[in-house]
């Protein structure tokens, strides 16, 4: 996300840092480039104008001009103004209410609303809540079936609507059932249209009036840029929404919607969708996003991802196995699975300060496919083979290669790497492995 904007801003700031002292002309020229970069990123024109003016007023003052590192000070000012532009602090869900608490998801058809309902349900379940999914879009039977499949996948109950009933009746009945079943959050997946119309808004207004949702969240597609901002403005005028969930941000290299929505609507972005998987929903932190836009990384999000992905108990068990020299291919597979939970290698790199601007070499990008291949090979082994690889003769290796869609050479290469790793671990053990950082291999 934001690749193009990050590259352009980084080039501007690199030139500014090259000056020992900045003049007003240096800053004016730099801000022209910043303005152009933001407009090319599809940021709202008025938002860009106000944003650049705020930076100008601060950058030509004592704060920057008399600083010992003026170039760095300009970056600091831009960073602070970006945070302010996107809302300052993250805005959490308001769940302080007698359960079941209604949360209403609204948006246009195709914005990813139903999938987002599933993602949000998983997020709430992981936080100890008991969500109840409600398909209230009777015009699109596929949406009902999709939500039922998602609920089954997540182990979360889904209300079974009567298609002959109105969306309002469905939501009211679901609220009663959720209360009877002790579900504490009611997620209403309301109908969408290809465009905003009077019938849609009337339907949503009725649900809002009767159920009084604690949160009305607009699900908007980041890939549509300023169209997403205009949609947010229209929904906010009609329903007075509480916030926005911006989907498909992982595929949006420009980022105009993320930088414009708060300034145009006055309503915060609460979550962002960063992938197709059901765990690819992140809380939106303006400060962290500003750092990522400026290529400064996002270490806090990286740490959180690692904590979520890595099982502390399994990490301790692995450490014991390493000390006892009983590290098997099964353990190796578990480590791969935990790494994959953190996201793609490119996503992880984007969170490391200074690494987000680097273009990964082709062979590095291909290493993700190698991880998938390695996991497929290990999965094609029997439990006995994973625990005792020394029994893998020629015929077994051929069977494993066929079962994993790889070659015997791939299987041999994996076993060679595994044996080299075990040899290295023995050396560590002899030289005092307890001196190694905890969780080094986790």
Cα–Cα distance for residue pair 213/136, rounded to 1 Å:
14
376: left (phi over 0), alpha (psi -120 to 50) or beta: alpha
* Termini Cα distance of the chain: 28
Cα–Cα distance for residue pair 121/113, rounded to 1 Å:
12
Neighbours of 237 (CB within 10 A): 11
pLDDT class for 363, splitting at 50, 70, 90?
very low
Could you tell me which residue, 323 or 160, shows the higher pLDDT?
Answer: 160
Contacts 24+ apart (CB under 8 A), 386-393: 386/328, 386/329, 386/330, 386/333, 387/328, 387/329, 387/330, 389/328, 389/329, 389/415, 389/418, 389/419
pLDDT attached to residue 297: 52
101-296 fold? Rossmann fold (3.40.50)
- pTM summary value: 0.67
Give the gyration radius of the chain's Cα atoms.
26
- Report the CATH superfamily, name and number, of domain 3-85: SRP54, nucleotide-binding domain (1.20.120.140)
Could you tell me which residue, 309 or 235, shows the higher pLDDT?
Answer: 235
pLDDT attached to residue 298: 46
**Beta-ladder partners of 158:** 133
Using one digit for the tens of pLDDT, what is the confidence trace for 186-198?
999 988 877 777 8
pLDDT attached to residue 295: 73
Domain limits, the chain: 3-85, 101-296, 304-435
Using one digit for the tens of pLDDT, what is the confidence trace for 25-48?
878 888 888 889 888 888 888 888
Cα–Cα distance for residue pair 375/340, rounded to 1 Å:
11
Most confident of the following: 215-224, 329-338, 370-379:
215-224
- Of the candidate CATH numbers 1.20.120.450, 3.40.50.10490, 3.40.50.300, 1.10.260.30, the domain formed by 304-435 belongs to 1.10.260.30
Residue 120 scores a pLDDT above 90: yes
pLDDT attached to residue 324: 59
């Amino acid at each position: 996300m934001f690749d193009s904007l990050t590259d352009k801003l980084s080039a501007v700031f690199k030139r500014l840092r090259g000056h020992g002292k900045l003049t007003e002309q240096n800053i004016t020229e730099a801000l022209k480039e910043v303005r152009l970069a933001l407009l090319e990123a599809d940021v709202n024109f008025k938002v860009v104008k106000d944003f650049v003016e705020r930076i100008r007023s601060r950058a030509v003052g004592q704060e920057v001009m008399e600083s010992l590192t003026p170039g760095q000070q300009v970056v600091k000012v831009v960073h602070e103004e970006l945070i302010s532009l996107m809302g300052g602090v993250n805005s959490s869900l308001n769940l302080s209410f007698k359960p079941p608490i209604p949360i209403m998801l609204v948006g246009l058809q195709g914005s990813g609303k139903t999938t987002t309902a599933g993602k949000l349900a998983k997020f709430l379940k992981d936080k100890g809540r008991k969500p109840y999914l409600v398909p209230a879009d009777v015009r699109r039977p596929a949406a009902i079936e999709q939500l039922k499949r998602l609920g089954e996948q997540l182990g979360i109950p889904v209300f079974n609507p009567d298609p002959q009933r109105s969306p309002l009746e469905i939501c009211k009945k679901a609220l009663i059932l959720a209360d009877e079943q002790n579900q504490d959050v009611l997620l209403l997946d309301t109908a969408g249209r290809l465009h905003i119309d009077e019938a849609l808004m009337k339907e949503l207004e009725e649900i809002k009036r009767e159920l009084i949702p604690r949160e009305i969240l607009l699900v908007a597609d980041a890939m549509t840029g300023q169209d997403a901002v205009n949609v947010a403005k229209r929904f906010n005028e009609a329903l007075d929404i509480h916030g926005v969930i911006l989907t498909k941000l992982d595929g949006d290299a420009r980022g105009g919607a993320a930088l414009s929505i708060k300034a145009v609507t006055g309503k915060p972005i609460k979550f962002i969708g960063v992938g197709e998987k059901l765990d690819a929903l992140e809380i939106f932190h303006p400060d962290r996003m500003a750092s990522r836009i400026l290529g400064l990384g996002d270490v806090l999000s990286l740490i959180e991802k690692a904590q979520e992905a890595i099982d502390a108990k399994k990490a301790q068990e692995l450490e014991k196995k390493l000390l006892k020299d009983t590290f098997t291919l099964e353990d190796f597979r578990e480590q791969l699975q935990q790494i994959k939970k953190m996201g793609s290698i490119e996503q992880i790199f984007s969170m490391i300060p200074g690494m987000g601007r680097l273009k990964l070499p082709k062979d590095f990008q291909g290493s993700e496919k190698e991880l998938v291949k390695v996991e497929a090979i290990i999965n094609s082994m029997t439990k006995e083979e994973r625990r005792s690889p020394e029994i893998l003769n020629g015929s077994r290796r051929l069977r494993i290669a066929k079962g994993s869609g790889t070659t015997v050479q791939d299987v041999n290469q994996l076993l060679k790497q595994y044996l080299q790793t075990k040899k290295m671990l023995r050396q560590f053990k002899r030289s005092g492995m307890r001196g190694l950082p905890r969780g080094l291999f986790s």
